[in-house]
């Protein structure tokens, strides 16, 4: 109990909550970087960027690594490998099972899941045998992150989402 309470106090989202942002390399880089910057400002490890597969297939990792680097570089003009680039600290995973679990067919898609129960944290949260969520709310389409969080809050009345929205808007209006 104590460790769970301590873990939750470090995040805006509780240990049994997730926000998944489903993305693709076909999305405009400017849009992806905008989402990444907002999510980086929230500093919440339970907000996860999810790709369905590797860029140009799993045979070569380099195109995917280059894509991820483009999205997560803090300074867009920083040039790897010539210089050291500071990166945003965001979880980004490739997990087609999460796409299937939440019936994501178009990106960007935002899923807020709560009541998440995991058996093994090393396995996909998209596997039915590993994870179950009490409920979830999904939005698709491009919009500002604060708008997305507002819509999720209106539907779910989640205190965690309200807190994230407050943190995000504080950043906009400093």
Give per-residue pLDDT as tens, 2-29: 444 444 444 589 999 999 999 999 999 9
pLDDT for 7 = 43
Could you tell me the pTM of the whole model?
0.88
pLDDT for 93 = 95
Q: How far apart are the first and last CA of the chain?
A: 36
- Ranges of the chain with pLDDT below 50: 1-10, 173-174
Residue 113, token pair as written in the block:
């899941």
pLDDT for 171 = 60
Count of residues making up the chain: 174
pLDDT for 11 = 53
The pLDDT > 90 percentage for the chain reads 76
pLDDT for 8 = 43
pLDDT for 78 = 86
Question: Could you tell me where the beta strands, DSSP code E, fall in the chain?
Answer: 17-23, 47-51, 92-94, 109-114, 117-118, 131-132, 135-140
Cβ-contact 25, 32 below 8 angstroms: no
Question: Could you tell me where the beta strands, DSSP code E, fall in 33-120?
Answer: 47-51, 92-94, 109-114, 117-118
Q: What are the Cα distances from residue 57, in Å, to 34, 67, 74, 92, 104?
A: 25, 13, 26, 17, 19
pLDDT for 172 = 53
> Could you tell me which of 157, 69, 52 has the C-alpha nearest to residue 106?
52
């Amino acid at each position: 109990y104590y460790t769970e309470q301590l873990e939750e106090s470090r995040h805006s989202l509780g240990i049994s909550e997730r926000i998944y942002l489903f993305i693709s390399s076909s999305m405009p880089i400017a849009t992806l970087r905008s989402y990444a910057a907002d999510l980086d400002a929230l500093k919440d490890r339970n907000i996860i960027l999810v790709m369905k597969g590797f860029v140009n297939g799993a045979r070569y990792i380099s195109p995917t690594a280059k894509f991820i680097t483009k999205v997560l570089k803090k300074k867009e003009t920083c040039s790897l490998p010539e210089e050291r680039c500071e990166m945003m600290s965001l979880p980004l995973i490739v997990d087609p099972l999460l796409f299937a679990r939440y019936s994501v067919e178009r990106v960007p898609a935002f899923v807020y899941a709560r009541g998440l129960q995991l058996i093994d944290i090393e396995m996909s949260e998209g596997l039915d045998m590993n994870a179950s969520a009490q409920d979830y709310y999904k939005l698709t389409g491009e919009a500002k992150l604060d708008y997305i969080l507002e819509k999720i809050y209106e539907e779910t009345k989640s205190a965690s989402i309200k807190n994230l929205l407050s943190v995000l808007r504080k950043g906009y209006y400093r």
